[in-house]
Amino acid sequence: MIDASLAIDGAVAGPAAAPASARRRFRWDLLLLIAPLLLVTAVVFDVPLLNTAYWAVSDAKSGALTTRHFQEFLESNAYMRIIWRTLFVSLEVTLVTILLGYPLAYWTTKLRPRLRMIVLALVVMTFWVSILVRTYAWIVILGNAGLVNRSLHWLGITSKPVEFLYNELGIVIGMTNVLLPFLVLPLYAAMLRVDQRLLQVAETLGASRLRIFWQVFFPLTVPTLAASSILVFILSLGFYITPAVLGGGKVPLIANMMDLLINRFARWEIAAVVSVVLMAITLTLYAVYQRLREKYQ
Amino acid sequence: MTNVRFSSVSKSYGPVQAIGEVSLSVASGEFTTILGPSGSGKTTMLSLIAGIAQPTSGRIELGDREITYVPAAQRNIGLVFQSYALFPHMSIFDNVAFPLRIRKLSAAEVRDRVTDALRLVRLEGFEQRRPHQLSGGQQQRVALARAIVFKPDILLLDEPLAALDRKLREEVRSEIRALQRSLGITTIMVTHDQEEALSLSDHVVLLSGGRVEQIGTPSEIYHRPATRFAAGFLGLANLIDGTLQDGGIVQTSDGERIPGAASDRTPGSTVCAMIRPEDIRTHPDQGFLQGNVRDVVFLGEIRRYTVELDSGRMINANGSGGGAMREGERVALSWDPASVWLLPECAAEQGGH
Ligand SMILES: Nc1ncnc2c1ncn2[C@@H]1O[C@H](COP(=O)(O)OP(=O)(O)OP(=O)(O)O)[C@@H](O)[C@H]1O
Ligand SMILES: [Mg+2]
């Protein structure tokens, strides 16, 4: 559930905040107004974060600063491997989400208004169903005796069940399903905002439909596509339920490793180190993205 | 030679008829303006010529080729939207080069022609900027450069000056005119500004409610309007209904006698006479009609008087030079009878103006 609530915050803040170029004068009175909120945020979110960072570099008993945990983290390459694995799976999920989500959003804008509402409702509806329920639903659909495998068998396409679940494929399918709305909704809005007259003018200048799409329409949606892809990527780094259920414990990702470290082995310090590393990677990616955005806008 | 021809073209958006049964032809190399109030179908006409909308019925020709359903991309027509519609993600250079690259010109040729086009609109040195870094007038000129750089057969301009302030508008206006003359390109411009239409064009197409009200030279439409709407839309007009008497005199129901030009219409018929305010002379006591000055508006070069005749009818008259009259003063109005125009159609007005 943490996944979902975090995600919704992100969806509101991410794409909406991206295009605003905030180069205004600093207003102390405004700072005063949001001070209580900042304070709550600091105490509730940032202090625990700092605390985690502190655990990563301190001795649990004496409290003295140490690099011991980081050394352990580096010596065992299991941790780094899982981090790479998570990054890779997140990248896959992001790519699949883009490949499915962009055409879906584009197609939706071409529908008649009433149909649009229905399609959007179907997309948004996944927000209303608990992640857990949705994830288990995939087992019904993709399991060895599931809907898809039975249909394939009945059609004579396969002789033995296809392994959709308990591997990376299952995880990617499940996560893509959860994350699709975060890409489709902002993209849909951005596509509707594209000035139709630009496309018409391009046509009068002699451009073919393909050229209009790739040289005018697509570039105008790229900023939103980039912002929502980054959002999807960052969200998928922290997925817990979906990999746990659909990966069947065979494909451990960072969140599942944390669960093991904390609940099974009570290795809070190592968990803290992994968190810090993960956060550093995320922030770096985000910084790179911001750089690129500024450079190309 | 005819360049654009409409044969009873209609266009409906669902139940809304944007234009109905429009027929007209525009000669090659001419500057034509489409003039009309908001919602009269001006943009629709341009869209039909450009091919970004298809007519519901009728036929459109370009030169000797029918283009009614030819895709916009194959028409070779330059279009400038009121909102400029520059590609925001491209530099000025790339914007202007866009139609040339589609036509697969060599890089050197693209560079030369973009440079030429930008020089023509006096925007050298702006190549690397983005549209949002230019002023409205500059963006307008980039849009113009982009529309002419590929040597289109026709240039279409949709209210190109509407977003500019008065001074800039006059500047860009004369630039457009000079450009059109030097390129000799058939140009159709949409406007709802009558002054713009009168000052720029060889021909004016006056639209109202999706129908052609009148087509003619600016002077024809101004001095010889076909309908009440035409008379009222271009400038201020005094319209007086009455019956025609011998010697071109129009007798109103209030008993006023309006001396007018000799007419070949049968005496006794109902007519509608138009006199422009600038054709009316004011004098303290000598004239055809007497009245009191009700209002004086100072407009710089002239004063505009609103005179209430003894019958209660209001007449607008212009006065210039010294000897201004004041409100409430007695005044007599006179004019050259030849300047009175009898509208060919006297039907009561259908649309408002
Ligand atoms: N896409 C559309 N869908 C429905 N109705 C439309 C559409 N485009 C134009 N119309 C209608 O057609 C009529 C003519 O519109 P048009 O845009 O040609 O007017 P216009 O003369 O250009 O007006 P303006 O001076 O305000 O630009 C209007 O009544 C308008 O409401
Ligand atoms: Mg218009």
Instruction: Choose the closest CB to B102 out of A200, A206, A219.
Output: A206
Looking at the fold, whether A190 and A270 belong to one and the same domain comes out as: yes
Long-range pairs of A13-22 with CB within 8 A, sequence gap ≥ 24: A14/A186, A14/A227, A14/A228, A14/A230, A14/A231, A15/A186, A15/A189, A15/A190, A15/A224, A15/A227, A15/A228, A15/A231, A18/A223, A18/A224, A18/A227, A18/A293, A19/A223
Which tokens in the block code for residue B22? 């429009």
pLDDT of residue B348: 55
State whether B89 and A219 contact (CB < 8 Å). Answer: yes
Answer yes or no: is A169 within a domain. Answer: yes
Rg (CA), chain A: 23
* A268 compared with B263, residue with greater pLDDT: A268
Q: Which atom of ligand 1 is nearest to the CA of B36?
A: 21
Q: Which parts of A134-243 are beta strand (E)?
A: none
pLDDT of residue A12: 39
Distance in Å, CA B72 to ligand 1 centroid: 19
Positive or negative, the CA dihedral B325, B331, B334, B339 is positive
**Mean pLDDT, to the nearest integer, of A9-26?**
47
What pLDDT shows up at residue B311? Answer: 86
The predicted pLDDT at position A127 comes to 79
Write out B329-341 in H/E/C secondary structure.
Answer: CEEEEEECHHHCE
Please check whether residues A153 and A217 belong to one and the same domain.
Answer: yes
Give the ipTM of the model, two decimals please.
0.81
Ligand 1 in contact with B44 (CB < 6 A)?
A: yes
Question: In this structure, what CATH number is given to the domain that contains residue A241?
Answer: 1.10.3720.10
Question: Which among A201, A207, A220 has the least Cβ separation from residue B85?
Answer: A201
What's the B170 CA to ligand 2 centre distance in angstroms? 20
Pocket test for ligand 1, best of B13, B52, B190, B211 (most atoms within 8 A of CB): B13
Residues of chain B with Cβ-Cβ distance to A195 below 8 Å are 83, 85
How close, in Å, is residue A113 to chain B by CA atoms?
Answer: 15
Ranges of residues in chain B whose predicted pLDDT is under 70 = 1-2, 321-323, 347-353
The CA distances from residue B332 to B296, B305, B308, B321, B329, in Å, are 15, 12, 11, 17, 10
CA of B129 to the centre of ligand 2 (A): 28
Place of tokens 């080069």: B97
* A90 and A46 both lie in a single domain: no
Q: B150 in contact with A at a CB cutoff of 8 Å?
A: yes
pLDDT of B347: 61
Res A56: pLDDT:
87
Does ligand 1 come within 6 angstroms of the Cβ of B42? yes
Would A230 be classed as within a structural domain? yes
pLDDT at A212 over 70: yes
For residue A207, the Cα-to-chain-centroid distance in whole angstroms is 36
**Predicted local confidence at residue B173, as pLDDT:** 85
If asked whether residues A270 and A225 sit together in one domain, one would say yes
| C-alpha torsion sign, points A251, A255, A258, A263 | negative
Find tokens 């809005």 and name the residue. A189
Q: Does position A8 have pLDDT exceeding 60, yes or no?
A: no
**Burial call B124-145: b when 16+ CB within 10 Å, e when fewer:** eebbeebbeebeebbbbbbbbb
Whole-number Å distance, alpha carbon B89 to ligand 1 midpoint, is 28
Which residues are CB-contacts of B229 (< 8 A; sequence separation ≥ 6)?
A: B206, B208, B213, B349, B350, B351, B353
Whole-number average pLDDT of chain A: 85
A63, part of any domain: no
Summarize the confidence of residues A138-165 as an average pLDDT.
Answer: 87
Task: Classify residue A91: in a domain, yes or no.
Answer: yes
pLDDT value of position B197? 87
Q: What pTM value is reported for the model?
A: 0.81
Cβ–Cβ of A204/B79 closer than 8 Å? yes
The stretch A13-28 carries a mean pLDDT of: 53
SS3 A249: coil
Residue A66 lies in a domain: no
- Buried-exposed string B271-303: b where 16+ CB fall within 10 A, e elsewhere: bbbbbbbbbbbbeeeebbbbbebeeeeeeeeeb
Do residues A39 and A120 both lie within one domain?
no
- Statement to judge: residues A161 and A269 lie in one domain: yes
Where does residue B216 rank: exposed (0-12), middle (13-18), buried (19+ CB within 10 A)? middle
Q: Are residues A130 and A35 in the same domain?
A: no
Of B73, B87, B99, nearest to A216 by CB-CB distance is B87
pLDDT reported for residue B268:
83
Residue B92: phi, psi to the nearest 5? -60, -45
Residue B256 and residue A18: Cα distance in Å, rounded? 72
A104 and A17 together in one domain: no
SS3 call for A74: helix
pLDDT at A221: 94
Q: What letters, b where the CB count within 10 A reaches 16 and e where it falls short, cover B307-328?
A: bebeeeeebbbbbeeeeebeee
Same domain, A97 and A51: no
Judge if A248 and A117 occupy the same domain. Answer: yes
Tell me which ligand sits closest to the C-alpha of residue B192.
1
Distance from the B140 Cα atom to the nearest Cα atom in chain A, whole angstroms: 14
- The domain total for chain A is 2
Domain-embedded: residue A47 = yes
Task: Give A37-89 pLDDT, tens digit per residue.
Answer: 999 999 998 898 888 888 888 887 888 888 888 888 888 888 889 999 999 99
Determine the pLDDT at residue A28: 84
Report which ligand 1 atom has the smallest distance to the Cα of B82. Answer: 27
* Residue A196 covered by a domain: yes
Structure tokens at A52: 């985690």
In-domain check, residue A4: yes
Reduced to 3 states (helix: H, G, I; strand: E, B; else coil), residue A164 is coil
Ligand 1 contact, B13 CB (< 6 A) = yes
What separation in angstroms does the CA of A106 have from each of A116, A199, A210, A221? 11, 14, 14, 10
d(CA A44, CA A59): 24
Sign of CA dihedral A110, A116, A118, A119: positive
- Judgement on whether residues A37 and A85 belong to the same structural domain of the protein: no
Ligand 1 within 6 A of CB of B20: no
Please check whether residues A12 and A117 belong to one and the same domain. Answer: no
Whose CA is closest to A89, among A233, A278, A196, A213?
A233
Kind of pairing between the strands at B77-80 and B154-158: parallel
Residue A31 belongs to domain spanning: 1-56
Read off the amino acid at residue A135.
T
Phi, psi of A224 (to 5 degrees): -70, -40
